[in-house]
Amino acid sequence: MAPNILLVDDDALQASTRKAILEGVGYSVAVAFDGQQALAFLDSGNGSAVRIVITDHLMPGMNGPEFVKAVRGSGYLLPILVLSGDPDAEDQYQTFDVAFRVKPFPPGQLLALVQYLLTNSDRLTA
């Protein structure tokens, strides 16, 4: 099964925890540990199956805003959920159409948000 969620996080523990939560309710999840790896995954032909991207804000090499800009610049109009421990980071995403949440938050909130974004992705504008 092709992954329908691309999870981008340089913290392996956080990534594996979120992956387990999402797969526990039936999603197929691919994990990338940085923005470059995630972009390569999208561009390798797997991007057509991905329905949502969940990314961390602070990552080495390419931070969240740079990654989101690259995704949008590549023409991908899929929902993007940005997670950060810094509530002030949301200001860096004002020009992008993304959902932003401060972590930590309960697994149920993650699942509800993913479902909401998937259900309302037809409203996404670049």
Write out pLDDT tens, residues 53-92: 999 999 988 999 999 999 999 888 899 999 999 999 999 9
Could you tell me which of 94, 84, 77 has the C-alpha nearest to residue 42? Answer: 77
Distance CA 98, CA 117 (A): 10
Domains in the chain and their CATH numbers? Answer: 5-123 (3.40.50.2300)
Distance CA 43, CA 77 (A): 14
18 or 122, higher pLDDT: 18
**Residue the block writes with tokens 């504008």:** 125
Cβ neighbours of 109 (radius 10 Å):
12
- Spatial strand order of the sheet with 29-32 comes to 29-32, 5-8, 52-56, 80-84, 99-102
Which pLDDT tens digit goes with each residue over 10-37?
A: 999 999 999 999 999 999 999 999 999 9
